[in-house]
């Protein structure tokens, strides 16, 4: 049966006024994002959790569970809460209703659940639902553009020692991400700092193979590779690698920050605005696609000449 605005209506059982649906022990990233947006909606309206609970006829604990993504929310309840919070952002509500109607179904990355750290799965989940991906990398080639040998070298030389089987699994996952992004045709913009073109991870032959692969990838119509040369001036240099995952509506954008101590997923409006500006400024000083392709070719020839 169709729900509000065309969303699918889930089975709704009520107990003491609450949505008595199964609780989730490990909600997915998108399920948690629905909860985050519900909380943000409530806070922007200046309504406390206890007050919203009283209006809905539920317990404050139930509101906490909804806003953490640990309890499901129906499309009907989404629109009820939106009405109480005077939210009239129809595109956002429709996008949230679509996530709810989807039921939190996972993608190909679920095959790796329990075998890889959750950070790996959440990166793939974000990419799998992004309308566009913009990445900035300082020291190494972006994951979705890495060759098998280059990826293996990165994992083998990382801060945390890994066994051969663990490295194989991570490399397999990284290459799968690459195939899925290309298969879906998600527009991918890679802003790569020149330093990343000189990292001899795995040695000279691995680097040459990686640079050649980068040149080939730059010909893909869905992939834009733009180099930020050392000579580029007047642009903010982040101390970490960034990925901007563009959502179906701006409110559902996400920024992933990769640091040596782990991955951070950011969705706060102020931080999103800051990183959008940062990436736009980096893009403004990056070489064009054609010039970047020529730059990579020159770098590859230089590596071949120096170590030939």
- CA separation for the pair 15, 59 (Å, rounded): 11
- Sheet harboring 223-228: ordered strands across? 223-228, 188-193, 132-137, 241-246, 254-259, 262-266
Helix (H), strand (E), coil (C) string for the chain:
CECHHHCECCCCCEECCEECCCECCCCCHHHHHHHHHHHHHHHHCCCCHHHHHHHHCCCHHHHHHHHCCCECCCHHHHHHHHHHCCCCCHHHHHHHHHHHHHCCCCCHHHHHECCECHHHHHHHHHHHHCCEEEEEECCCCCHHHCCHHHHHHHHHCCCCCCCHHHHHHHHHHHHHHHHHHHHHCCCEEEEEEHHHHHCCCCCHHHHHHHHHHHHHHCCCCCEEEEEECCCCCCCCCCCCEEEEEECCCHHHCEEEEEECCEEEEECCHHHHHHHHHHHHHHHHHCCCHHHHHHHHHHHHHHHHHHCC
Q: Scanning the structure block, which residue is given the tokens 């990382």? A: 158
Q: Write phi, then psi, for 93 (nearest 5 degrees).
A: -65, -40
Instruction: Say how far apart CA 293 and CA 101 lie, in whole Å.
Output: 43
Q: What is the pLDDT of residue 18?
A: 45
For residue 165, the model assigns a pLDDT of 93
Structure-token match 């490990």, residue found: 26
Structure confidence at residue 308 (pLDDT): 62
Largest Cα span, the chain: 76
What span, in angstroms and rounded, lies between the C-alpha atoms of 75 and 97? 6
Q: Which two tokens stand for residue 190?
A: 């890679």
Q: How far apart are CA 129 and CA 135, in angstroms?
A: 16
Radius of gyration of the chain (CA): 22
> 277: closest CA among 122, 149, 136?
136
CB 129 within 8 A of CB 28: no
Low-confidence ranges of the chain (pLDDT < 70): 1-24, 104, 260, 307-308
Q: Output the CA–CA distances (angstroms, integers) from residue 264 to 82, 157, 254, 271, in the order listed.
A: 28, 22, 10, 12
Could you tell me how far CA 94 lies from the centroid of its own chain? 20
First to last CA, the chain: 68
């Amino acid at each position: 049966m169709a729900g509000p605005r065309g969303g699918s209506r889930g089975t709704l059982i009520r107990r003491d006024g609450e949505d008595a649906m199964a609780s989730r022990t490990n909600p997915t990233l998108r399920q948690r994002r629905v909860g985050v947006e519900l909380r943000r909606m409530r806070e922007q309206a200046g309504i406390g959790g206890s007050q919203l609970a009283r209006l809905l006829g539920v317990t404050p604990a139930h509101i906490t569970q909804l806003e953490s993504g640990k309890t499901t929310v129906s499309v009907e309840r989404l629109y009820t809460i939106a009405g109480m919070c005077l939210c009239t952002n129809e595109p956002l509500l429709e996008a949230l209703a679509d996530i709810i109607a989807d039921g939190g179904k996972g993608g190909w990355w679920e095959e790796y659940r329990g075998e890889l750290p959750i950070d790996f799965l959440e990166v793939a989940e974000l990419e799998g639902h992004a309308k566009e991906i913009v990445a900035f990398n300082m020291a190494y080639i972006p994951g979705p553009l890495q060759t098998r040998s280059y990826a293996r070298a990165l994992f083998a030389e990382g801060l945390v020692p890994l066994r051969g089987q663990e490295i194989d699994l991570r490399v397999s996952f990284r290459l799968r991400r690459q195939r899925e992004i290309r298969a879906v045709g998600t527009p991918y913009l890679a802003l790569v700092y020149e330093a990343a073109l000189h990292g001899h991870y795995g040695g000279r032959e691995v680097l040459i193979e990686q640079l050649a692969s980068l040149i080939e990838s730059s010909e893909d119509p869905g992939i834009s590779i733009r180099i930020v040369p050392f000579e580029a001036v007047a642009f903010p240099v982040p101390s970490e690698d960034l990925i901007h995952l563009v959502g179906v509506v701006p409110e559902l954008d996400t920024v992933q920050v990769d640091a040596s101590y782990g991955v951070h997923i950011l969705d706060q409006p102020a931080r999103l605005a800051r990183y959008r500006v940062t990436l736009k400024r980096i893009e403004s000083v990056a070489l064009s696609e054609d010039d970047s392709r020529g730059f990579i070719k020159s770098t590859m020839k230089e590596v071949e000449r120096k170590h030939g």
